[in-house]
Amino acid sequence: MAITDTDVNSKIQEEKVEEKVRENEEQAILRVENLHTSFFTDSGEVRAVNGVSFNLPKGKVLGVVGESGSGKSVTAYSIMQILADTGRVVEGKILYKGENILDYSEKKMNSFRGEKCSIIFQDPMTSLNPTFTIGWQLREAIQLHTDYKTKEEANKRAVELLKMVGITEPERRMKQYPFEYSGGMRQRVMIAMALACEPDILIADEQTTALDVTIQAQILELMKELQKEMGMAIILVTHDLGVIASMCDEIIVMYGGRVCERGTADDIFYRPCHEYTKGLLRSIPDVKNMKEKLVPIGGSPINMLSLPKGCAFCPRCEKALKVCLENAPDEMEMPDGHYASCWLNVKKEYEEEINAENQKTAGKEHA
């Protein structure tokens, strides 16, 4: 009797979990499954992204954090299909509302870029054309992607957009060139351009890294407001843990082209389950205890040309096991949508199981 009860219970639970997964998938506006992106260079294949999977729920801010060379930008570029000539997605799926965008024709992809998904780059100076006025460049994006086809309509819309991102005297500013704008203003223009067609997804690739803190605060605040207003989902690619903590609902930590850990902001900052995440958090000054010595991660960043066989972080990991050298760990679910790929978690779980069993047998013997 008791056995069937637990059976039923577990079945109900399984169904619940499945339902939850389905719900998540339905809510996810963008799903990346087992993405592999490689660059084919003279010195060999560089596996920049090695099996990245994540869901981007509608209207949420997803932070992608990692060091240089962790593959965070390449992941973003793969979604937009704007990789360099030598780069190619070799495996995996990128599903936008259930459709794999990797199957899109060039024409369809062009309308996906801009209309459904926009990107803001790190350096606003090199991503604006210095030989055209700001107005001209905004108009180009608007006429290309939206229904405002005439010059007057597009102009009107451009002024609206500039106002929305907080540029004063937009009519006069339209006639100016990028060099007449400050760094923060240029970044505002980039945001205006990206939002011209009210995309569902906005990718921000290190967009505030080149800015001063006070200007960065302005831009982040603006992004938050616009997100509330327009409800788009944002993928925020950055190496700054401070920006991530103040902006993101969900976070992906990347290292060596793989996802180490993903979960909510609280999961990552307060319950990190991957040695790299832990190391990263230890190596920034603690706000509450400033004079405490930092604990750096030893060694140097990974060389993408010669990836280790097992876990990418293994050569720098203090707690590495034998198995880490040989096999890359699979993603394991910590409770509630918090995933980590680390053998130590597997070991811990196994040990706990054995302990529990030992206690059981010990208990029986006593009885």
List residues binding other proteins (CB under 8 A): 67-68, 182, 184-185, 212-218, 220-221, 239-246, 265-266, 269-270, 279-285, 287, 290-291, 293-298, 300-301
Q: Which of residues 142 and 317 has its CB atom nearest to other proteins in the complex?
A: 317
Q: Which of residues 266 and 349 has its CB atom nearest to other proteins in the complex?
A: 266
Task: Report the nearest approach of other proteins to the CB of residue 221 (Å).
Answer: 6
Task: Return d(Cα 314, Cα 311) in angstroms, integer.
Answer: 5
Among 299, 309, 313, 296, CA closest to 258 = 313
Task: Report the nearest approach of other proteins to the CB of residue 302 (Å).
Answer: 10
Q: Which of residues 52 and 248 has its CB atom nearest to other proteins in the complex?
A: 248
**Residue type for 201, please?**
I
Task: Report the nearest approach of other proteins to the CB of residue 134 (Å).
Answer: 16
Q: Give φ, ψ of 284 to 5 degrees.
A: -105, 150
Task: Return d(Cα 208, Cα 222) in angstroms, integer.
Answer: 12
Q: Which of residues 101 and 192 has its CB atom nearest to other proteins in the complex?
A: 192
Would you tell me the crossing angle of helices 134-145 and 151-164 to the nearest 10 degrees?
110
Strand, coil or helix: 88: strand
Q: Which of residues 293 and 322 has its CB atom nearest to other proteins in the complex?
A: 293
Contact 197, 113 (CB under 8 A): no
Q: Which of residues 144 and 210 has its CB atom nearest to other proteins in the complex?
A: 210
Task: Report the nearest approach of other proteins to the CB of residue 279 (Å).
Answer: 6
Task: Report the nearest approach of other proteins to the CB of residue 101 (Å).
Answer: 31
Q: Which of residues 286 and 357 has its CB atom nearest to other proteins in the complex?
A: 286
Q: Give φ, ψ of 51 to 5 degrees.
A: 80, 65
User: And the tokens for 338?
Assistant: 């918090």
Q: Give φ, ψ of 362 to 5 degrees.
A: -60, -45
Q: Give φ, ψ of 39 to 5 degrees.
A: -115, 130
Task: Report the nearest approach of other proteins to the CB of residue 214 (Å).
Answer: 5
Task: Report the nearest approach of other proteins to the CB of residue 103 (Å).
Answer: 36
Q: Which of residues 44 and 242 has its CB atom nearest to other proteins in the complex?
A: 242
Task: Return d(Cα 168, Cα 162) in angstroms, integer.
Answer: 8
Task: Return d(Cα 272, Cα 101) in angstroms, integer.
Answer: 33
Q: Which of residues 193 and 220 has its CB atom nearest to other proteins in the complex?
A: 220
For 318-341, letters b (16+ CB in 10 Å) and e give eebbeebeeebbeeeebeeebbbb
Task: Return d(Cα 236, Cα 183) in angstroms, integer.
Answer: 19
Contact 255, 312 (CB under 8 A): yes
Residues whose CB is less than 8 angstroms from the CB of residue 156 and which lie 6 or more positions away in sequence, other chains included: 148
Task: Report the nearest approach of other proteins to the CB of residue 208 (Å).
Answer: 9
Task: Report the nearest approach of other proteins to the CB of residue 270 (Å).
Answer: 8
